[in-house]
C-alpha cells in the first residue's frame, strides 16, 4: 500500500512554521495513550485519491497491525502542543532484500504516513520521516524506500524535494474484481498446493536474482496471512514430477496468496449514486441469470478485503496460459471468501508475467512509484546511481502492501 499525503490548502509564514515545529514532539507509539487518537485522526485522512474517485484504507483494530508481521518494526507518533494532541503518524520496518544478482542489503520500508488535516504545513511529515530514518540507520539499514501513486504530487515532492529521495522503480497494480460466478479452469491443468519448504526452495532458486527478494521468504510463507503457494502444471506432467527431487517441470506457473482482509479493508468513494445503481444492476442481473456469467461489478462501495498475489513466476511455452488459469483459480478462492471483492497483483512494468495476469484496466493503475534514499553516505556501491537491474522482475513483499 502506498504512502499518501493530501495537498495542503493554506500557506504558512516561515516564522509561523518554525514556531509550530518546535511544538511538535515525536514519540514511539504507546497503545494505551495513542491508539484511539490515531484511529480518529486517520479517519479524517483521505487516502489514495485518484481523480474524482478515492480509494481509502480503513485500518482494522490495532493501528500497528500493518507492520507487526515484520520482525523489526516501529511506529512513531507526532504530538503537538502542551496537551500532546496526536497530529501525525508513520510506520516503518527493516528487512534484508536482494539488491542485484543475489547480493543482499538491509533496507528500511516507510509506510502509513499520515498528518492531521488541520495541522499541515508545520513540517510534521518531514520530522516524522527524519526520526524514522534515524531509527532505521541504528538498526543497520543502508537504504530506505517508499511507495506512492505517481499522481500524488504532495507525497512525491515531500520525499524527493525535502527528504532527499530519488525516483527509483515504477510498478503496475493489476486488479481483478471478484464476480458472483466461478471462473472456468481448464481440465487439462492440475493446480498443486506446495508445502512451505518447497515453495521457499523454489523461490530462492527462481527469484533470488529479482530486486527486493526478501531474505526471510520462509517467514512470509509460514505466516498465518499466507493462504498458500500454488503451482499450475499440465496434468500430463503431474505423474512424472516428484517435488522431492528438486527438479522443476518444464511448463508451470506459480504464485502465493496473501489475505489482507485480516489487516485492513478498502472502500471506493466519490462515485455518483447513478453509477452505484448501475453497478448494483450488474450484480442483480448476474444473480438472476448466472448461466451467462456476466462480469458483474462487485460492491466496492462498502469496506471490502482483497487477496494479494506475490511471487508470480512462469516458465515454458504454456506459461501464460498456466498463469492465467492459476489466477482464475485464486479468483474462485476469493469468491468463496465473503467480503473479498478483488484479487490484486503488483508487478514491475517489464515483468513478462504482467501480460498473463487477468485484470480490469479501469480498476488498475499503471504507475506506482517507488522512491529510494541511501542512508549511509559512503559505500562501495550505490544501488540508486547504478540505474541497472539484472532482471525485470521486482519481488513485492506482501507485508508492504
> What confidence tens digit (pLDDT) does each residue in 215-269 have?
999 999 999 999 999 999 999 888 777 777 767 888 999 999 999 988 888 888 7
Domain stops at, among 164, 189, 212: 164
> What confidence tens digit (pLDDT) does each residue in 136-180 have?
999 999 999 999 888 888 889 999 999 999 999 999 999 999 988
pLDDT of residue 1: 46
- The H or E element spanning position 274 is helix 273-288
Q: Could you tell me if 142 and 205 lie in one domain? A: no
Domain that holds residue 273: 175-367
For Cα atoms 87, 91, 95, give the angle at the middle one, nearest 5 degrees.
Answer: 165
Q: Could you tell me if 233 and 353 lie in one domain? A: yes
Per the structure block, which three cell numbers stand in for 24?
511538535
Question: How far is residue 181's CA from residue 296's CA, in Å, rounded to a whole number?
Answer: 9
How many domains is the chain partitioned into structurally?
2
Q: What global pTM score does this model have?
A: 0.88
Domain stops at, among 121, 142, 164: 164
> What confidence tens digit (pLDDT) does each residue in 54-80 have?
444 454 456 788 898 999 999 999 999
Which CATH number is 52's domain given?
3.40.630.30
Q: Could you tell me if 132 and 254 lie in one domain? A: no
Q: Could you tell me if 45 and 92 lie in one domain? A: yes
- Fill in the DSSP letter of residue 61: S
Does 7 map to a domain? Answer: no
Which CATH number is 182's domain given?
3.40.630
More confident residue, 45 or 276: 276
> What confidence tens digit (pLDDT) does each residue in 88-127 have?
999 999 999 998 777 899 999 999 899 988 888 888 999 9
Q: Could you tell me if 143 and 195 lie in one domain? A: no
Q: Could you tell me if 160 and 267 lie in one domain? A: no
Amino acid at each position: 500500500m502506498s504512502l499518501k499525503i493530501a495537498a495542503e490548502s493554506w500557506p504558512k509564514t516561515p516564522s509561523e512554521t518554525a514556531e509550530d515545529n518546535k511544538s511538535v514532539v515525536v514519540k514511539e507509539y504507546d497503545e494505551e495513550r495513542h491508539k484511539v487518537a490515531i484511529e480518529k485522526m486517520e479517519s479524517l485522512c483521505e487516502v489514495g485519491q485518484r481523480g474524482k474517485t478515492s480509494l481509502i484504507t480503513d485500518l482494522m483494530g490495532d493501528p500497528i497491525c500493518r507492520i507487526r508481521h515484520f520482525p523489526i518494526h516501529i511506529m512513531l507518533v507526532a504530538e503537538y502542543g502542551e496537551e500532546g494532541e496526536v497530529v501525525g503518524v508513520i510506520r516503518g520496518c527493516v528487512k534484508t532484500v536482494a539488491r542485484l544478482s543475489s547480493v543482499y542489503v538491509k533496507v528500511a520500508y516507510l509506510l502509513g504516513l499520515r498528518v492531521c488535516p488541520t495541522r499541515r504545513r508545520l513540517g510534521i511529515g518531514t520530522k516524522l520521516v527524519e526520526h524514522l530514518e534515524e531509527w532505521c540507520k541504528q538498526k543497520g539499514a543502508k537504504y530506505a524506500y517508499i511507495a506512492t501513486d505517481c499522481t500524488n504530487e504532495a507525497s512525491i515532492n515531500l520525499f524527493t524535494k525535502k527528504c532527499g529521495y530519488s525516483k527509483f522503480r515504477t510498478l503496475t497494480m493489476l486488479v481483478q474484481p471478484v464476480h458472483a460466478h466461478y471462473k472456468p479452469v481448464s481440465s487439462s491443468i492440475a493446480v498443486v498446493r506446495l508445502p512451505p519448504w518447497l515453495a521457499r526452495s523454489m523461490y530462492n532458486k527462481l527469484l533470488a536474482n529479482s530486486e527486493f527478494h526478501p531474505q526471510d521468504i520462509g517467514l512470509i510463507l509460514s505466516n498465518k496471512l499466507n493462504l498458500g503457494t500454488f503451482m499450475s502444471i499440465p496434468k500430463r506432467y503431474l505423474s512424472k514430477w516428484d517435488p522431492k527431487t528438486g527438479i522443476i517441470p518444464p511448463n508451470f506457473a506459480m504464485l502465493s496468496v496473501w489475505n489482507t482482509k485480516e489487516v485492513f479493508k478498502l472502500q471506493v468513494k466519490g462515485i455518483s449514486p447513478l453509477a452505484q445503481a448501475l453497478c448494483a444492476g450488474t450484480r442483480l442481473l448476474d444473480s438472476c441469470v448466472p448461466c451467462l456469467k456476466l462480469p458483474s461489478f462487485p460492491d466496492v462501495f462498502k469496506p471490502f478485503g482483497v487477496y494479494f498475489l506475490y511471487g508470480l513466476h512462469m516458465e515454458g511455452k504454456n506459461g501464460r496460459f498456466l498463469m492465467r488459469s492459476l489466477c482464475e483459480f485464486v479468483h474462485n478462492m476469493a469468491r468463496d471468501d465473503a467480503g473479498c471483492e478483488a484479487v490484486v497483483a503488483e508487478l514491475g512494468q517489464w515483468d513478462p508475467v504482467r501480460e498473463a495476469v487477468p485484470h480490469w484496466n479501469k480498476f488498475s493503475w499503471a504507475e506506482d512509484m517507488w522512491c529510494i534514499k541511501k542512508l549511509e553516505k559512503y559505500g562501495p556501491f550505490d544501488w540508486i546511481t547504478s540505474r541497472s537491474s539484472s532482471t525485470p522482475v521486482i519481488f513485492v513483499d506482501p507485508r508492504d502492501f
